[in-house]
Amino acid sequence: MSDRGVASGRGEDLSVANRQNGSGKGVTASFPILTRTDFSKSTFLIEIEHPVMAKAAKPGQFVIVMLHDLGERIPLTIADFDREKGTITLVVQAVGKSTREMQLLCRPGREIYAMLGPLGIPSDISSKTKKVICVGGGLGIAPIYPQARAFKEAGAHVIGVLGFRSSNLMFWEEKFRAICDDFIICTDDGSAGIHGLVTQGIEAAIRENPDVDEVVAIGPPVMMRACTETTRPYGIKTMVSLNPIMVDGTGMCGGCRVKVGDAIKFACVDGPDFDGHQVDFDDLFTRLQRYRPEEAAAMKRYSDSCRRLALAPDAAPIEGGK
């Protein structure tokens, strides 16, 4: 039996044990997946039932997820929440072992072993912000949505700037159009909207709207840095959502420390949102490289075991292992 089979089996047993110990009144005993949508070959959305968290979550916060009891704790931004349905939504990009495994295992009817949240300080949605540009790129497109919505609800004029690699990878366009006053799409290959990066979209938006008070950018660190450099000459306040390596997510290990201005901050309790013009991005890039060799090794090992499973269909425990 593969490790993965063992892992998912044990995960389920423990969830059952949690439910029993929770004696029915448990607020956080289990984390069932209700729906799943695939946006592309590597990006997918899962909606997880957690009424208490759906009630508590605010834009800008994140969760720490552990897929099974052999798994690692990974931070994921809360892409959306539905207080009435009692669900929170995560958008995952399969980039390494754990997220690839999530792509395989996270299906409706299954459960996640552990999910802690909402974590971090909610984004500052100030009613003083009259005009805001909300920028999302790559992984950041989903989590910028609740922020844009919150700005809209607070009465701001919201300009959405979204960057995709190509038009066939686009998602949530209607959702954004419904809450944005202006909406700019940028694609790397020019298959939709502006041919180029989100920074060009930001430039365009600022030209049109010189009275913008704030830019909020979420996406890969390289993109967020580019956004801060774009707005710096204009002196427009620019908030970014940092994504350093995390373990506990509660402020007790300092694995996620980042340099902001002259101070050391823990992104999990002091952030994850910071003033982009103060953030030391070089420091963040360096520290994100910390476990590259281990990540590559884990990924290779996982890919190899997947290939073995594909060769021996009888041994595949994934779909039938309910």
User: Least Å distance between CB 237 and another protein?
Assistant: 22
Among 85, 177, 195, 290, binds another protein (CB under 8 A): 290
CA dihedral 44, 59, 111, 292 (to 10 degrees): 60
Residue 200 near residue 117 (C-beta atoms within 8 A): no
Nearer of residues 168 and 250 to another protein, judged by Cβ:
250
CA dihedral 158, 161, 167, 168 (to 10 degrees): -70
Query: Which residues in 27-86 contact another protein (CB under 8 A)?
Result: 27-29, 31, 52-53, 56, 61, 66, 69-73
Q: What are phi and psi of 245, to 5 degrees?
A: -65, 135
Residue span binding another protein (CB under 8 A) among the ranges 33-41, 148-156, 187-195, 265-273: 265-273
Nearer of residues 263 and 312 to another protein, judged by Cβ:
263
291 touching another protein, by CB under 8 A: yes
Residue span binding another protein (CB under 8 A) among the ranges 85-93, 117-125, 182-190, 220-228: 117-125
Rounded to the nearest 5 degrees, what angle is found at the Cα of 199, between the Cα atoms of 196 and 201? 70
108 touching another protein, by CB under 8 A: no
Residue 238 near residue 276 (C-beta atoms within 8 A): yes
Residue carrying structure tokens 């992984």 = 139
Cα distance between the two ends of the chain:
16
23 touching another protein, by CB under 8 A: yes
Output Rg (C-alpha) for the chain, integer angstroms.
20
Among 119, 141, 144, 240, binds another protein (CB under 8 A): 119
Q: What are phi and psi of 312, to 5 degrees?
A: -120, 80
Residue span binding another protein (CB under 8 A) among the ranges 36-44, 142-150, 201-209, 264-272: 264-272
295 touching another protein, by CB under 8 A: yes
Q: Is the sign of the CA dihedral 215, 217, 221, 226 positive or negative?
A: negative
Chain contacts with another protein (rule: CB under 8 A): 3, 18, 21-23, 25-29, 31, 52-53, 56, 61, 66, 69-73, 97-98, 113-119, 121, 247-248, 250-255, 257, 259, 264, 266, 269-270, 280, 283, 286-287, 289-291, 293-295, 297-298, 301
